[in-house]
Amino acid sequence: MDKHKIKEAARILSFAHFPIALTGAGISEESGIPAFRGEGGLWAKYNPAEYAHINAFLENPKKVWQMLKELDGILRAAKPNPAHKVLALMEAEGLLKGIVTQNVDNLHQAAGSKRVVEFHGNAFCLRCLSCGRAYKKEDMSSEQPLIDLIQDVPRCHCGGLLKPDVVFFGENIPTRALLEAQVLTAACDVMLIIGTSGEVAPANYLPYDAKQHGAKIIEINLEATILTEAVTDIFLQGKASKVLIALEEEIRGMRGKKS
Ligand code: NAD
């Protein structure tokens, strides 16, 4: 890890007025959830382009639900890792104003982050494709989905097909999440990008929007991405948890010196 770059990033963050984070699958990789790109058992078995496309789901919901059940087991077992916790701490200390996440795993909220925009939805919720009714998987007080025993897929009480409330390829971003992400991006003077390949649109437009109005871009990733050359001011190479811990310690040290 480049100590000089950590110091520079810490200085920028500690003087920022409205720093935000944009996170991707890489931040949850250390919680045991494989990212799409890079090595990952689940995605080597199920091609996301095939299984995570809305047309694939509509054509063969049973096949996609089989993959979703396997993913569900992984998501349920996952706990926030130090990277999620550092971001929650930074928000509590006023060093971060919000997070736009592409992840659907609920781990930012589980770590204690308050202002989280779920750009691609949340895998712990289900929505009916016919009537729009939402179900929370964990909420036993609410009515539970019906199980279609012939198809082995969950169904709504109206009979409609249930789909996890996540954005599949080929679907639009929910308007509210899109607007909230755009508002945070428009307001930010620093964007901390963590664990995203920058390959998935339209989430990958946000760093360009931020850059365009003069925000500083700090990127944390194991390797350079298509964003690194295009928009990044400071690239911090390494695992999200290790880099974020170092960054938070550096900021703490600077604050100690200031007071
Ligand atoms: P991606 O899979 O395209 O890229 C992951 C990036 O994270 C890569 O650039 C990789 O180098 C980096 N990375 C991996 N481990 C890291 C670590 N420990 N520390 C730092 N960086 C690390 O992910 P994406 O850009 O978020 O796009 C994929 C899409 O897949 C997203 O839209 C997301 O919704 C979905 N997805 C979500 C989850 C989840 O909810 N946890 C998991 C897989 C995929």
Q: How far is the CA of 50 from the centre of ligand 1 (A)?
A: 17
Instruction: Tell me what pLDDT residue 117 has.
Output: 98
* % of the chain beyond a pLDDT of 70: 93
pLDDT at position 222 over 50 = yes
Secondary-structure breakdown of the chain: helix, strand, coil percentages, each rounded to the nearest 5: 45, 20, 35
For ligand 1, atom 18: residue with the closest CA: 239
Share of the chain above pLDDT 90, in %: 76
Q: What is the pLDDT of residue 35?
A: 85
Q: Whose CA is nearest to atom 16 of ligand 1?
A: 26
Predicted local confidence at residue 145, as pLDDT:
73
Pocket test for ligand 1, best of 196, 235, 236, 237 (most atoms within 8 A of CB): 196
Distance between CA atoms of residues 52 and 74, nearest Å: 16
- Give the residue, by CA position, lying nearest to ligand 1 atom 40: 103
**In the structure, what pLDDT confidence band is assigned to residue 102 with cuts at 50, 70 and 90?**
very high
Cα of 38 from ligand 1 centre, angstroms: 8
Average pLDDT over all residues of the chain: 92
Domain locations in the chain as residue ranges: 1-32+81-120+173-259, 34-77+123-166
Q: Report the atom number in ligand 1 closest to the C-alpha of 30.
A: 18
Q: Does pLDDT of 255 surpass 90?
A: no
CA distances from residue 36 to 155, 168, 256 in whole angstroms, order as listed: 28, 13, 40
Residue 7, pLDDT > 50, answer yes
pLDDT of residue 259: 44
pLDDT in tens, 83-95: 999 999 999 999 9
Ligand 1 site residues, Cβ closer than 6 angstroms = 24-26, 28-30, 33, 35-38, 102-105, 120, 195-197, 199-200, 220-223, 225, 239-240
- Span from the CA of 67 to the centroid of ligand 1 (angstroms): 18
Cα(221) to centroid of ligand 1, in Å?
A: 10
Tens digits of per-residue pLDDT, 111-155? 999 999 999 999 999 999 999 999 887 665 566 777 766 667 889
Buried b (16+ CB within 10 A) or exposed e, 242-259: ebbebbbebbeebeeeee
Q: Which atom of ligand 1 is nearest to the CA of 24?
A: 26
Rounded alpha-carbon distances, angstroms, from residue 259 to 53, 130, 252: 52, 58, 11
* Domain covering 1-32+81-120+173-259 in this structure, CATH number: 3.40.50.1220
- Alpha helices per DSSP H over the chain: 3-15, 41-45, 48-51, 54-59, 61-77, 82-92, 107-111, 175-187, 206-212, 226-230, 240-258
Place of tokens 């077992």: 77
Determine the pLDDT at residue 141: 59
**Strand order of the sheet with strand 116-118?**
116-118, 98-101, 19-23, 190-194, 216-221, 234-237
How many residues belong to the chain? 259
Q: How far is the CA of 137 from the centre of ligand 1 (A)?
A: 24
Residue to mutate (ligand 1; options 172, 193, 200, 219; most atoms within 8 A of CB): 200
Give domain 34-77+123-166's CATH architecture. 2-Layer Sandwich (3.30)
Cβ atoms 96, 251 nearer than 8 A: no
120 is catalytic: yes
Q: Encode pLDDT of 149-202 as tens digits.
A: 666 788 998 999 999 999 999 999 999 999 999 999 999 999 999 999 999 999
Nearest to 83 by CA among 113, 62, 59, 56: 113
How far is 89 from 83, CA to CA, in rounded Å? 10
pTM as predicted = 0.94
**Amino acid identity of 39?**
E
Asked if 13 contacts 129 with a C-beta cutoff of 8 angstroms, the reply is: no
Work out the pLDDT band at 44, boundaries 50, 70, 90: confident
